[in-house]
Structure 1
Amino acid sequence: MLPKREEEPAPKTYKQRHPPSTNKKYTHFIKPMLAKLHEGAFDNEDWIFEIKWDGYRAVAEVDKGNVRLYSRNGLSFETDYPIVYEALKKIKKQGLVLDGEIVALDENGKPSFQLLQQYDSSTPLCYYVFDCLKVNGISIEDKPLLERKAILQKLLPESNIISYCDHVAARGKDFFKAVKTSGLEGMIAKRADSTYHEGTRSSSWLKVKHILTEEAVIAGYTAPRGGRKLFGALVLGVYKNGKLVYIGHTGTGFDDKTLRQVYDRLQPLRTDTSPFGVRVPVNSAVTWVVPRLVCNIKYTEVTEGGNRRHPVFMGLRVDKEAQDVHEEVKDGGPIQAHKTKNMRTATKNKAEPVKDIAISDKEQTIGGRTLIFTNTDKVFWPKEGYTKGDVINYYNTIYPYMGKYLKDRPQSLLRMPNGILSPGFFHKDAGDNAPEWVDTYKMFSESADKEINYIVCNEKATLLYLANLGCIEINPWCSRVTRPDHPDYLVLDIDPSEKNTFGQVIETANVIKEILDRAGADSYPKTSGATGLHVYVPLGAKYTYEQAKDFAHLVAVMAHEQLPKFTSLERSLSKRGKNQIYIDFLQNRRGQTLASPYSLRPKPGATVSTPLDWSEVKDGLLPSDHTIENILTRIKKKGDIFAAVLKKGIDMKKCLKALGG
């Protein structure tokens, strides 16, 4: 299902999170399974690999709208992160237990632990769920991990807030390389057949870090120096053999706000006694505190004496008790590498390079416009090995065919700067960072309640600029800026649910074609590039969005009457069920967007939204047939078979009369 971009209601506004000290703690709670530290990435066909999220581990218990959401030590997150809590309440399952991580996302869509500390309603938030412990109140912890994840993926609803945490099988080295390129913290390696063991740190789960991070206990603080107020540095330790051991002190990573917050939290804990029991090498007067507060730090290396070199404060942790902060011991021994039969190198999967553009981090001139392509070797599809540079190359090559479908149309940007396994974010306003030569169109957005400067893709350089922003898919309006309320075509989006077959999608599309043929209306199909099909009807900008929507609604009703067993006009997935195809006629509204013809999609295999002949819409067609690798060969053979959607439109009055309307 394509995301509904312009018509989504504005999110609820929540007040800033409560201080951690106000969190209630549950008496009975599930302690999640933990991973051991491991040095070095590895390949192994018996293992899978996930992103190591930089957030708060969170367990969710869901039972028909009743929810408990808490940390690994039982602290409630319900008032801290209400947007996650409310999203979980919409899951109408019984006796469901989920394990995942609450993550705050920065402006580039990357996890940020610091943002999570100061979370408010303006911060994008996601609950990445990577395991399922119970279904219908029955434990599935003894099932193999991959079986649990398959169950989990089917259970989770479509949501921008609750997201299934995907994985890569076998190819840990390539995945870790992509993690490093994306600037993420690291990866988690898990045995594919591992069972779940509550409260256990197991060698079946391993964490491989790119950025060195650690939890540390705050043992005191030094006096401020220079212009710094309140305190100079935090004195840090970890527990080893039951004793608190000094690991260094950090005076960086603070702004005025965090200085005040940490200082205020430490005042009730002041004491005259050093919690280390021995003298430690600090360089100014120290105020000792009872060792209760835990913080996150990042650092460059561990010295021979055990100190963390160049530690940076990342934020306080509320989800771990101080006595549980131990020096991390690496899991023993390397994992034997095995090559799976299906493992292919990234270079074999790359799209054919384009000859007329040199992708690099230097200035490029495209059609007289100056562009700088950045991070072009960043892997966007870890399994296949396709990079950001491949996306730029693809759009450079496809523009002669694709450009006509973008010209004069406002764009709603979905940016995925860290690839398909990381969260994306919507970006509608061109803002101040867009080059001066990029065309824009200003219009009031009801959903945003403000005027927005939409980018309009009128030349190749603009399309490549969008690709460099991380726009894997390109999503134009159905109307142009010259006639913004009059679409050039109407669209029926055939959107399957979880239990529908693609054969049913094909059958629905052909029934729609029969109805349109009876009306005397030309129609043109294309794959969505995901799980569905789109049917376009040319209008020639002669009718309003309201008229287009009403006509599309009539066709959808007639199709549903012929296929009542597995189609629906109910938009809500929870109401229509998992075996009902949604015939979406509501795409025909101003500001709604669909993937453009020839747009890449951020899906496995790097699929392309591909125009079809109706003769191809038959059994055997698959959404994955057309990809970044083969689409150019197809176009050279068949030409652009979709161009007629931009030509003379139907006579809607005659069509309605033919249908008895």
Structure 2
Amino acid sequence: MVDEKKIKNFIRPMLAKSYEKAFDDEDWIFEIKWDGYRAIADLSKDDPLFYSRNGISFLSKFEKVSEDFENQIHKMILDGEIVAYDDTGKPNFQLLQQIGDNPNLALVYQVFDILWLNGHSTENIPLVQRKELLKDALIETDVIKYCDHIPEKGIDFFEQMKKMKLEGMIAKKADSLYVENHRTTDWLKIKFTNTEEVIICGFTEPRGSRQGFGALILGKYIDGKLIYSGHTGTGFNKESLSKMYERLKKLVVKTSPFEKKPKTNMPVTWVKPELVCEIKFSEITKDGIFRHPVFVTLREDKNPEKISDSTNNISQINENPKEMKTNPAPKKTTRTSEKEKEITLNRHKVKLTNQDKIYFPKEGITKGDVVEYYQSVAEYILPHLKNRPLSLNRFPNGIEEQSFYQKDASDNIPDWIKTTQVYSESNDKYIDYIYCNDKATLAYLNNLGCIDLNPWNSSLPDLEHPDFLVLDLDPSKKNTFDDVIETALQVNEVLKSIKVKGYCKTSGSTGIHVYIPMGGKYDFDQVKDFAHILMKQVHEQLPKITTLERSLQKRDDKKIYLDYLQNRTGQTLASAYSLRPKEGASVSMPLNWDEVKPGMKPTDFNIHNALDRIKEKGDLFKPVLGKGIDMMKALELLQNDE
């Protein structure tokens, strides 16, 4: 086995951005966040390589793991984390650092990704497929394990991690590709405590009876410059204080490594900015200083030059990396140019921030343009939102950056925002849903990053009985929009045969939605069962291009999913007249049935032309909120047809 201090031409792994809060999303998977050393195992040649994210060889340091590479039968390159377990079976990073003193330490290499297999790179294959390949190729041993994941249910998984007293979880987009040496919003790390790596830049004199030093002076790189970020003197015992002091004495320099020397209460001894430590803290102030930082451990595996401002909490998401690197596309709309303003709507003051932020990069459409669009169509969209709990789909940095779902209203919403409490069985708690009945709330939600608005099918005061039934025609990757149109027309034929009038709209994305007014006369189960019967009729007529199979893995990628399960409590779809977070800034637009014909495209209706069309046609969806159908009569007609 080759063992070098530093490996040449090594792979730098893909990294995750910090994120504030757990979420549920069917397009994401969730893994345990291991508290260990990130490690690449290159088993592509006869002599294996095993090294840290900085290219430092782990072959001899973690010999227990590297010996087991002989059990692998495939040529491959693996990405994972070396984890040490304490007596209680819990990952323990400090033990990992003391491996020399603990040769019998319980070690496991948790493998969560594969970058190369039997002569072929796998980096451009979607993550879930890479993990399937990994699961098949990896021979598990006592010290090499496949790191499994769970799909969609991030909130429950996060709570489970908390009960197990683990560090947190990693959220990964299921279709994400592997991008080496890149910190991306396709992978997110969500921790229970705020922790951060920082550089030790100096130490202060001790006070009273304390030996060694008083506090460590901390810094990190911002735009290539080393910036002061606070100090910490807590988290040490006598032994660790003494060991740290011995390390620091060897690194002493005469001048401050900071361009701007920070003020300190005690005299400072400066050191070369070479040591990285991990701290935990309560929050970061506006000027980038850690509050209540506590020393956790030294991070020998981290390169100080890589310790930059990587925090990306929701409250701190304020720039789009793509905007900073490239010039945004020329603006087609220039109506809103003020960055920040306060407006009064419905006698409420609404603060609008970052109005120049680009939300649709290719079109140059700003956050301000989104606010203005919704205000212009408010009289048409508000009746479809009124008294309906909303699931907030927030895009704080625009459509090409990370989005997240929010159901529970935060504690700091304005007191005039209307909310309703709904008990959630899956979370075993009450959730405060926002509902939007006026222009002020509309603007407030847009300012939060809600590009589209997703209301429930039922409304207050009776959330148990939906006002309408939804038939969602959801195409697979290889369907054309003309296939969707053909399916929508077949839905209409089925409805006409039972004397039911349906109302259709583009989803604003790739599908079509057909709504049937129910008038709040039936409960969700009854409406869902009726929708299922209707979709079966459609599928019988179009078996070659439609399916009732919900699972993406099992579904034919040339078939349209006839989704009747949107008729369950708490399900949401984009409202009529809602913008969609898609390229082209399309709008979910109601249609007359004679407009539903081949050649029509979802992007035909967008932020630029929607208002003119709505003014010309009026609210084609108004009947959806009116008197409901007689479902029993419709079912009788359906049985007679059979």
2:476 pairs with 492, 497, 504, which one? Answer: 497
> Do structure 1's residue 642 and structure 2's residue 626 form an aligned pair?
no
Of residues 578, 588, 596, the one that matches 1:599 is 578
SS of aligned partner of 1:452? strand
- C-alpha offsets along residues 58-100 of structure 1, whole Å, 9 cap, x if unaligned? xxxxx99x994348xx999xx8999987995575654799xxx
Which letter does structure 1 place at the counterpart of 2:424?
S
Aligned to 1:487: 466
Distance 1:292 1:375, change over 3 A: closer
Change (3 A) 1:217 1:466: closer
Secondary structure of the corresponding residue to residue 503 of structure 1: helix
Do the aligned partners of 1:216 and 1:237 also contact (CA within 8 Å) in 2? yes
**2:503, 2:456 → 1: CA distance?**
17
Distance 1:386 1:478, change over 3 A: same
1:420-475 deviation digits (Å, cap 9, x = unpaired): 12212222222332222222211101233211121121112111111121111111
Q: Tell me the CA shift for residue 562 of structure 1.
A: 2.2
Over 6 Å off, 4+ runs: 5-9, 11-16, 29-34, 79-87, 214-217, 225-230, 235-238, 261-267, 287-290, 310-319, 323-327
Match status 1:535 vs 2:535: no
Q: For the residues of structure 1 that align with 2:218 and 2:350, how far apart are their CA atoms?
A: 47
Is 1:510 the counterpart of 2:489? The answer is: yes
The alpha-carbon distance between structure 1 residues 485 and 248, as it changes in their structure 2 partners (threshold 3 A), is closer
Q: Decide whether the 8 Å contact of 1:218 with 1:294 is kept in 2.
A: yes
Give how far 1:580 is off.
2.4
- CA 1:263–1:586: 2 relative to 1, 3 Å: farther
The Cα shift of 1:264 comes to 9.0
Question: Cα distance 1:266–1:224, how it changes in 2: closer, same or farther (>3 A)?
Answer: closer
Does structure 1 retain, via aligned residues, the 8 Å contact 2:215–2:232? no
Question: Do structure 1's residue 363 and structure 2's residue 342 form an aligned pair?
Answer: yes
Larger CA deviation: 602-611 vs 273-282? 273-282
Structure 2 CA distance, aligned partners of 1:501 and 1:319? 53
CA distance in 2, matches of 1:263, 1:505: 70
Selected match of 1:466 from 426, 438, 445: 445
1:28 and 2:49 are equivalent in the alignment: yes
Q: How many angstroms apart in 2 are the aligned matches of 1:227 and 1:532?
A: 71
Q: CA separation in 2, counterparts of 1:322 and 1:626? A: 50
Q: Which residue of 2 aligns with 1:346?
A: 330
Aligned counterparts of 2:210 and 2:381: Cα–Cα separation in 1: 56
What is the CA–CA distance in structure 2 between the aligned matches of 1:228 and 1:131, rounded to whole Å? Answer: 51
Structure 1 pair 290–589 and aligned structure 2 pair: CA distance change class (3 A): closer
Matches within 5 A, 1:94-113: 94=133
1:128 CA displacement: 9.7
1:547 is aligned to 2:546: no
CA distance in 1, matches of 2:444, 2:518: 30
Comparing 281-290 with 398-407, which one deviates more in the overlay?
A: 281-290
Deviations 1:300-357 (A, max 9, x none): xxxxxxxxxx996899996966599799xxxxxxxxxxxxxxx99633x11766xxxx
**For each residue in 1:535-561, what CA deviation from the matched residue of structure 2 results, as whole angstroms up to 9, or x when unmatched?**
111111111111110011111122222
Aligned length: 483
Within 5 Å, which residues of 2 pair with 1:106-505?
120-121=167-168, 125-126=171-172, 218=200, 221-223=203-205, 231-234=214-217, 250=228, 252-253=229-230, 260=235, 271=246, 275=250, 280=255, 284=267, 293=276, 322=303, 346-347=330-331, 349-350=332-333, 361-505=340-484
Are 2:464 and 2:524, in contact at CA under 8 Å, matched by a contact in 1?
yes
Residues 375 and 653 of structure 1: is their aligned pair in 2 closer, same or farther, counting only changes over 3 Å? same
| Structure with larger Rg | 2
Contact in 2 for aligned 1:442/1:453 (Cα 8 Å): yes
Distance 1:291 1:269 in 2: 13
User: Kindly tell me: are residues 225 and 491 of structure 1, through their superposed partners in 2, closer, same or farther at Cα, counting changes over 3 Å?
Assistant: farther
Q: Does the CA contact (< 8 Å) of 1:495 and 1:583 recur in 2?
A: yes
Residue in structure 2 matched with residue 590 of structure 1 by the alignment? 569
Q: Which moved more, 1:447-456 or 1:489-498?
A: 447-456
The 3 A distance-change label for structure 1 pair 625 and 235 is closer
Matched residue of 1:474: which SS?
Answer: strand
Residue 225 (structure 1) shift: 6.5
1:207 is matched with none
Report the Cα offset of residue 398 of structure 1.
0.4
Question: In the aligned structure 1, how far is the partner of 2:386 from the partner of 2:226?
Answer: 58
Native 8 Å contact 1:269 1:290 kept in 2: no
Alpha-carbon separation, structure 1, partners of 2:556 and 2:392: 30
Q: What are structure 2's unaligned runs of at least 5 residues?
A: 1-21, 42-47, 56-72, 85-90, 94-108, 115-125, 138-164, 189-195, 258-265, 280-286, 309-326
Instruction: Using the TM superposition, give the Cα deviation of residue 485 of structure 1 relative to its aligned residue in structure 2, in angstroms.
Output: 0.9
- Tell me, yes or no, if the aligned pair for 2:216 and 2:232 is still in contact at 8 Å: no
Mapped pair 1:69 → 2:79? yes
Whole-angstrom distance in 2 between the partners of 1:439 and 1:448: 22
Q: Is the 8 A contact 1:568 1:576 kept in 2?
A: yes
Q: Secondary structure at the match of 1:605?
A: coil
Cα pair distance change 1:485/1:131, threshold 3 Å: closer
Residue pair 2:507, 2:602 contacting (<8 A) in 1 also = yes
| C-alpha RMSD of matched pairs (Å) | 5.1
One-letter identity of the residue aligned with 1:260: G
Q: TM-score, normalised by structure 2?
A: 0.63
Which 10-residue stretch deviates more, 400-409 or 221-230? 221-230
2:199–2:273 contact (8 Å) kept in structure 1: no
What TM-score do the two structures reach when normalised by structure 1?
Answer: 0.61
One-letter amino acid matched to 1:232: A
Structure 1: stretches of 5+ with no match in the other structure = 35-62, 98-117, 134-140, 142-159, 164-213, 239-246, 297-309, 328-342
Q: Deviations over 1:516-535 (max 9, x none)?
A: 11121111111111111111
The offset of 1:285, in angstroms, is 6.6
Cα distance, 1:506–1:67 mapped onto 2, change above 3 Å = farther
- Give, as a single letter, the amino acid of the residue that structure 2 aligns with 1:28: L
Q: Is this contact kept in 2: 1:127–1:162, CA < 8 A?
A: yes
